């Protein structure tokens, strides 16, 4: 992980493959609309069998390229994060246009308004998702340090869904209406988006491996993320209904419990918590007898 963290710097992390035109278009839009382009770095991951990356973009600003084998997008994003120097991290694709002037100033302002920096900031991607999902979003390094991982590794991981759900349930999802992007994606119906080999590969993986099925199986992992983030937050939301019993128990008895047990109990949904209490009760009875 980079040890040279620059205050105020925004690192935009982008996997790209065989899309030189997209790269040029994206870099130009990022830097031409930023109020302080010197505080923006763009880091691309390029597969080592892809020789199409347009080297002329290095002259435009702070651009880095990491090359390596073709792998899961979630792993690529984590590799890019390791090489990032920014306080604020943006996950993005190469099919995006930045439309709002001074977007970087607006993003920094939002993070500066929250003392603990636990926040997911995003804007409109110009498509049908609107403010429902942070398709492209910004998190602070404090979020990542608190969890201990940037993106959950997975074959067809859904970081936008994962981060959106996590931020929404802890009350830290921040939609900025004036922060506008254009997502030039074939699913958005944008005629400028060609259904190329990169899209086809991703689409085929989603069809074969059903990422939403795997996403649902990892509900407890997302709960653990929320437990860790809530510990860091200075202002906390009301307890989630599904975890109301465990949260109430912790509120009543936290002074008698150590942190590892508190975390274990908080990860239990209502039914699981009841079963946990019954199990502990039976153990106590048999121990007495």
Please answer whether residues 101 and 33 qualify as being in contact, where contact means their C-beta atoms are separated by less than 8 angstroms.
Answer: yes
pLDDT of residue 285: 80
Collapse the DSSP code of 150 into the 3-class scheme (helix H, G, I; strand E, B; otherwise coil) and give the result.
coil
- How wide is the angle at C-alpha 172 spanned by C-alphas 167 and 178, nearest 5°? 105
pLDDT of residue 206: 61
One DSSP character per residue, 1-34 reads --S-PEEEEEEEEEEE-S-HHHHHHHHHHHHHH-
pLDDT of residue 216: 87
- What averages of pLDDT result for each successive group of 10 residues across the chain (289 residues)? 85 94 95 97 96 94 95 91 97 93 97 97 82 93 95 77 96 95 67 63 65 85 97 95 96 94 96 94 74
Q: Which two tokens stand for residue 261?
A: 């047990």
Please answer whether residues 60 and 28 qualify as being in contact, where contact means their C-beta atoms are separated by less than 8 angstroms.
Answer: yes
Q: By 3-state DSSP, what share of the chain in percent is helix, strand and coil, each rounded to 5?
A: 50, 20, 35
């Amino acid at each position: 992980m980079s040890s040279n963290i620059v205050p105020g710097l925004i690192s935009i992390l982008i996997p790209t493959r065989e899309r030189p035109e997209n790269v040029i278009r994206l870099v130009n839009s990022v830097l031409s609309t930023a109020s302080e382009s010197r505080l923006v770095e763009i880091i691309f991951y390029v597969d080592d069998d892809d020789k199409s990356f347009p080297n002329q973009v290095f002259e435009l600003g702070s651009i880095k390229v990491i090359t390596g084998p073709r792998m899961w997008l979630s792993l690529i994003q984590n590799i890019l994060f390791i090489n990032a120097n920014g306080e604020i991290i943006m996950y993005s694709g190469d099919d995006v246009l930045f439309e709002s002037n001074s977007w970087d100033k607006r993003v920094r302002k939002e993070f500066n308004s929250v003392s603990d920096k636990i926040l997911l900031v995003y804007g409109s991607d110009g498509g049908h998702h609107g403010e429902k999902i942070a398709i492209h979003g910004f998190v602070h390094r404090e979020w990542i340090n608190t969890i201990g991982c940037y993106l959950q590794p997975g074959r067809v991981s859904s970081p936008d869904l994962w981060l959106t759900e996590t931020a929404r349930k802890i009350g830290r999802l921040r939609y900025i209406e004036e922060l506008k992007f254009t997502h030039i994606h074939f699913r958005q119906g944008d005629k400028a988006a060609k259904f190329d080999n990169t899209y086809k590969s991703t689409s085929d993986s989603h069809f074969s491996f059903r990422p939403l099925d795997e996403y649902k199986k990892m509900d407890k992992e997302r709960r653990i993320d929320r437990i860790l983030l809530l510990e860091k937050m200075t202002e906390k939301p009301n307890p989630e209904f599904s975890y109301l019993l465990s949260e109430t128990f912790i509120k009543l008895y936290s002074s008698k419990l150590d942190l590892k047990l508190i975390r274990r109990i908080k990860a239990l949904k209502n039914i699981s918590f009841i079963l946990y209490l019954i199990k502990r009760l039976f153990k106590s009875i048999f121990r007495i007898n």
